[in-house]
A and B are shown apart, each in its own frame.
Chain A
């Protein structure tokens, strides 16, 4: 299906991971270094698929009594795979599997059979022995999302009980709750960690996004992002300096913008029931200045506070006509992919705005409000915030209707392409997960 009219690229089907689940699939997570993918399913299992052959490898089952809503691989682990699962049964699970050759299972680790003897006999006895290592109890109702911090030190879980829990692994299989954060006024739908700092973002049914950080042994809310007019379903941090913006001939304001972004750190993206996808950026703190951002400040205002000033930078072009469940920021290209109830997959990219309608020396119309010529990067506000014409804009580069036929698509993510057909080492595919139980892989053509 091509939309020859507007878009520069098309989304083409590459594979459907088979055999698929027969019940709703909620979300998928690619392994940090192996070419495999885990999918959280409502039949209380996690299905593990190969991204080279696109086939089902194993099923992780027996640990949860209700749908598994979310799963995440622990980063930075060698010699084993560690998977966290979050379930509607209000518990999170930690699963482990050794990756180095067969027979490397720990002798003293008695695999506990949580299946009451009804093991999944379909799978062959390969090296696919998943051990249910720990159950993390504490939440009072369904867990919606689990996420590991960038280094793998912390695990965050969030729930309909309005709280976010942070867990730290003390030693093997011993997790301690180090924070229970209850500031949200509604279900917490998603948690996501900053790629570099120990900063956690949470998205909520109360229409807000909150950011959390550790301050003298206490985790606390450091910013509240208001703006969305309905439930926020998902948040994701940027990682890469936007590849499409780093071109050769950058003008001074353009370079200054990139420098400012580097100083402020990765931005945050969010998507919502209000049909918008919003980009948020941090205004780096001045040493003497008190943050006075648009975000509602937490009630306890400490001196020398660690509160942060995050503001809405942009809204992506409107394409979805029903709730948007997931927005994901590519770590390689800076593109964003989104999906939702309308069954569409949409890809967006940030570009330099055409400056032909600016005045001669390339400065935005309302020059004089910000420091535009590099040099002293005193950021009292981002460059484009004060000007009428932002330097960048988001455009839709590809759009696909009916990705999972008539079914809703719950999750979408960027995955490094691992199969034989990949064109280069940096190629990414899109993996979508839908109500039809299917997990599909897509390429973007036209670049």
Chain B
């Protein structure tokens, strides 16, 4: 074991134990898109196409756990968000954030804006659990999650990545950095940091 690493002996989950869509609540109405794609690749489509899509009226049902009332043109639920981030590599170990339980499905929430608003902004909140309480790479991991989601989700999603309360000694300081749009934007222009992030995101689908 490498004594230089923050957490030399992390708990590793088996890939088969991680939540996946097959095992999720069968009542979720996963409506496939007309062209057969899954929605994961929507980031490649220029964002302006969303402007042309008709906004079907939303059913006012939403409870927090069930975000599947987005029956319009996008079907993005917590499972999909989990699928996007669970394959991010940990910067220290050759393991994914999912198998290290750094990201967990129950710690992902999607809030949809009230139906009376013309603006269909949704907020995705992801709580990240560092492997140990003083993990120095918590900021980098949080940044990786945020960057991944900002790139993969349509622009109507606001991404809030936070360190789960009680799991990190300087959680609030890390949260403040992760929540600062300017800092995140500048970090993405930092060559060294982008190198680390690219390595982390290389294992994503």
Q: Which residues of A contact B (CB under 8 A)?
A: 1, 24, 42, 66-67, 69, 88, 141-142, 144, 160, 187, 189, 205, 230-231, 273, 322-323, 341-344, 401-402, 405-408, 435-436
Contacts and interface: CB of A to CB of B under 8 A. Distances in A.
Contacts, number: 59
A343 B121 contact: yes
Interface in B148-205: 154-156, 158, 176, 179-183, 185-186, 189
B117 interface: yes
B83 to A, nearest CB: 22
B73 interface: no
A408 B120 CA distance: 12
Interface residues of B, number: 21
A408 B181 contact: yes
A401 B119 CA distance: 6
Contacts of A141: 186
B46 to A, nearest CB: 10
Given A205-B180, A231-B180, A401-B118, A24 B155 contact: no
A231 B155 CA distance: 24
A144 B51 CA distance: 31
B115 interface: no
A146 to B, nearest CB: 15
By DSSP majority rule, is chain A's interface helix, strand, loop, or mixed? loop
A322 B50 CA distance: 22
A295 to B, nearest CB: 23
B9 interface: no
A1 to B, nearest CB: 6
A273 B179 contact: yes
Given A142-B186, A406-B120, A406-B155, 4 more contacts: A142-B182, A323-B179, A401-B119, A402-B118
Contact of A322 (B47, B51, B158, B186): B158
A79 to B, nearest CB: 35
Interface string B50-62: 1100000000000
Given A205-B180, A231-B180, A322-B158, A343 B119 contact: yes
A230 B181 CA distance: 14
Contacts of A406: 50, 119-121, 154-156
Given A401-B118, A406-B155, A160 B183 contact: yes
